[in-house]
Chain A
């Protein structure tokens, strides 16, 4: 059996082993990669950054733990951005499995800000600076109902507080008070946000999506239906970089952990390995086919 034939018949477990090494190596010994923000990421960042302070950022955590590696860094980066620029934040989820992820992200980012706070104004407080509405169903009722009055859709928040009694509710009543709604999803839910929230109430919608579904959502970005888009872990890393730069500008050089950016060296190494496998596999296929002839 020739070398090329052996290559074609290689046990897939060897490929898994090589990929594991290629990914683990840069995690242990990372090389520096500074992601350059792409236009869709810049558009979303700039929109949130220049949004009036009386307009809130709403983040819909529409994903489950299986895709948190790609999507959770986006949620964390957007929360840091909103809190750093003084915007109110509303968080909800359309997927019951997203509850724990959203709660943990809010707990982590509010703790980061409160650890550096010197006064009440610097602090990030539940019910004043952010609200976690939690989850309810069905999807259509939530998306349409939020345009009328959010407290009717979510009479109690995730922590069991009556939403009508929260101070933030005075400034965040319905979509009119929302500067942009960003849906982070691993499914077709961003389309529903466009169909129900945007078509009906003209609310600005942005999205953070898994790389798998990125190609499906580019048409909505091109048409302007999405204000901006973060695609996969790379999109998260680009947003993290922009937020980091912004926070340094604002004097908040806290050197916070950025999981998306940390993963970029492994991501790059793995992509190079896969490109090598594809090229080698194609050469082996062509060479062995010629020999057969």
Chain B
């Protein structure tokens, strides 16, 4: 056993145990660690946003040797951004719609064409079966299964017509594919949670207590 002399390792370990204590029941140690985490995380983020974004991108440029036109643009954009804070003044809170409109317009304009290409066209293309899929036997089989899965799952979510005739078995097979998907997701979720627990135990037993090398 080789216990760490580093006080930060001790603090991190004790806070980890305080969070784990919630598994037994709600308690003041857990509450303390939870609030401390939220406060520290927000303080850390705000500091970085101030020093790495606002100061170099706005204050340094407005107060520096940038051309007058650039300065006017930056000040104008900063004023529009500052309108987010009008949420706290009920009488003029409607002004918050202005920066939200700018942000939504920018985000939609930049993302929609690319999302259509990446998430609809490319994904649809991946379901098309070509001769190349059958260069390897199992690759071909999986390509057929994926095609059936996509068509049947979409059939299940087709609500414009009653699920009768061909649509009924297709939707039923779609449910099976959806359930398999949920099962895989659940299995992966269990794996993820256990992994995080193992990670913390590696820290407690290794970095802190020095039992695990």
A residues with a Cβ closer than 8 A to B are 13, 16, 19, 23-24, 27-28, 66-70, 96-97, 99, 134-137, 140, 144, 155-156, 191, 194-196, 198-200, 210-212, 214-215, 219-220, 222-225, 231-234, 259, 262-263, 266-267, 270-271, 274
Contacts and interface: CB of A to CB of B under 8 A. Distances in A.
Interface in B11-35: 23-24
Contacts of A70: 192, 195-196, 199
17 contacts: A23-B198, A27-B198, A69-B198, A96-B49, A99-B48, A136-B52, A137-B49, A195-B119, A199-B117, A212-B192, A215-B188, A223-B126, A233-B191, A259-B202, A263-B202, A266-B198, A267-B194
A19 B194 CA distance: 9
A66 B196 contact: yes
A189 B192 CA distance: 18
B52 A196 contact: no
A267 B188 CA distance: 12
10 interchain residue pairs of minimum CB distance: A69-B199, A223-B126, A211-B192, A233-B195, A195-B114, A212-B192, A211-B188, A211-B191, A215-B185, A270-B194
B59 interface: no
A204 to B, nearest CB: 14
Categorize the interface residue count of chain B: 35 or more
Given A69-B195, A69-B202, A195-B118, A97 B107 contact: no
Nearest to A214: B188
Interface in B175-213: 181, 184-185, 188-192, 194-202, 205, 211-212
A232 B188 contact: yes
State the main secondary structure of chain B at its contact with A: helix
State the main secondary structure of chain A at its contact with B: helix
Contacts of A274: 190, 194
B44 interface: yes
Interface of B: 23-24, 41, 44-45, 48-49, 52-53, 56, 106-107, 110-111, 114-115, 117-119, 122-123, 125-126, 146, 181, 184-185, 188-192, 194-202, 205, 211-212
Given A27-B201, A137-B53, A263-B198, A222 B118 contact: no
B119 to A, nearest CB: 7
